[in-house]
Structures are given as C-alpha cells and as structure tokens.
Amino acid sequence: MSTREPGSLAGRVAVVTGAGGGIGSEVATELGRRGATVVAVDPGVSVTGEPVGEQSAAATVARVQDVGGVARASTVSVTDAVAVADLFRGVVDEFGSLDIVVNTAGILRFPKLAETTEDDWRAVLDVHLTGYLNVLSAALPIMASAGYGRIVGVTSGVGLARTSPDGPAYGSAKRSVAALTWKLGRVAPPGVTVNALSPIAATRMISEALRAAGVGPAGLDLSAMPQPEEMAPAAAYLCSEQIGWCNGRVLFCAGSEVSIIAPPTVVEAVRTSGVDDFAGALGTLVPVVFAPAEQQQRTNGGSNPRFDRAILSASAPVGGN
C-alpha cells in the first residue's frame, strides 16, 4: 500500500508533451508542485505548427522550479516516433522510471472543409493522432514492465458533440483520441490507466480560432471562460494513484465542473409498421431481445432481423401457428 498523501506525486516521473504553453504548461507546473519530476516537452512551434524557435519548454521548466519542483526540458516532437522512444528510454535511465505521460501536444489549422489542403490534414493528424500513437507505443511497454503507469490524452468537444466544418482535421483527430481511450482502457496492462481529458479553456488555440473565424479584437475577451490553470487539477488527479479505479474514460473539464463523457452506445431499431399489436410485442422484445442486445452491444446497424420472429410470435392469435 502506498504511503503517499492523497494527490501527492512525490517520487513519480512525468513527461508532459505540448508543455510549452497553455494547458500543457499548467499541467507540468501542477505535477511539479505535487512532487513529480517533470520532463517538459515542446519543439517550440506556432499554433499552426510552423517552427518558430520558441524556448517554451525551458520557460515551463523555470515555472516548475519556481514552485519547488524538479524539471528539465526537451524539444522533441511527438511526430518523431524514434525520438519519442529514445526520450522515454532516456527518462527511465536518468530518473529511474516513467510513471506519468500527459499528451497535450497539438496544433490547429483553420480552413473550412472545402479549402483544407492535404498538407493541413497531414500536419494536424500527424501531431494529434500519429503523435499520440507514438507516445502510446513508447510509453505502454515501459509501464507494462513496471506494473504501473498513468497516461492522459487530450480530446475535445469539437471531435465529440459539436464537430465543426472549420478545421475538420482537428475534430477528426480528437474524435480518434477519444475512441482510442475508450478501447485502450479495456485492455491496458495491469496497473496502467489510459484516460483522456476534454477541456474547455481560454487558450491560445481558442484565440487564434476566433480570429480565423473573423471575430474582431473587441470579441476576444475570454475572461469569462475557464482558464488553462483550472484544467491542471483534473489532469493531475488522472495522474494520481487514486485514479486506479478509472480506466478508459473521457472526462470533460470546465474548471469547477468535471463530468464523464460516455462512449457511443448501440441503439437497437425495430419496425413498427404492419404490426398488429406492437404493445403486445414489447412484452417479448424487451426481455428477449432488447435486454440481451444491450448487454452485448451487438447490432447489424439497421432493423434487427431477430425482431421479426418476436413480433410475429407476439402478434399471432392465441393458439395460432
């Protein structure tokens, strides 16, 4: 049994990608505040992914140190699978373990669907989806071998409930992150959790997206929105020992509000036309068809052919064939 205080990450080693700003920087700082050794990873690119040589990872390291934490910087890009794997192995060699990975790395491009180029699709998907796959591929074997690990991905409502025709690559990638989370949580190695955060906060991405949508400076007051630092406690909780009960979950976070986003569920369909006694048929459909189907979540995607027998049986006159 652990002797750590609830919420403490003392002795844990964490890698945070996209740690140069916004939510990533706040998460890295919070993990450092809670005692984790933090490797802040950010290649120093613009919101749209162009290299600009920003020393953003180093700036986050300074923030972690300001709150009493231990940190170092890396400029590795999550799009480079070899570099990510080398980084993670190096972290284990240097600090003794790799306990936590929070993948907040992301870029955003803003053309509408008809105007999106192949380069736009490739750039966004490479960071959000392929980059996350690179992180998972490198981290999971290390954590499986150690028998412990916490992986936190980042998805978005843009890819879940409110997909937008502006920036379709971003929405598609974030939907994929959620789908991976729901599936991987079921098969994660013992002691390892894979969850995702769906945050809403006033980040640089939000500001740039609003500008791209034509919102003028007067419309860019985001002070009423949750701030990036308000996402950090939820992310830190997903990195803690206490979260072992929670695996394969997507959590929506808006600062003071946190809720679980349920995965899609299959809706069974049944025809009602041409049925003599549909109310009577329900007496058979519910216990014989709906309940088992709900448990197994299987369907052919349309009206279930099993229902025909149930309806005919329930509609037939007593004593009929």
Percent of the chain past pLDDT 90, that is, above it, reads 52
- For the stretch 181-207, pLDDT in tens is 999 999 999 999 999 999 886 566 666
- For the stretch 20-48, pLDDT in tens is 999 999 999 999 999 999 999 999 998 87
- Region 68-88: what's the mean pLDDT? 98
**Residue 55 confidence (pLDDT) above 60:** yes
For the domain made up of 13-261, the CATH class stated in words is alpha beta
Residues of the chain with CATH 3.40.50.720: 13-261
- pLDDT score at 128: 94
Closest by CA to 171, choosing from 198, 143, 146, 189, is 198
pTM as predicted: 0.79
Choose, from 132, 148, 170, 237, the residue flagged as catalytic: 170
- For the stretch 238-291, pLDDT in tens is 999 999 999 999 999 888 888 888 888 766 667 777 778 888 888 888 888 777
- Is residue 132 annotated as part of the catalytic site, yes or no? no
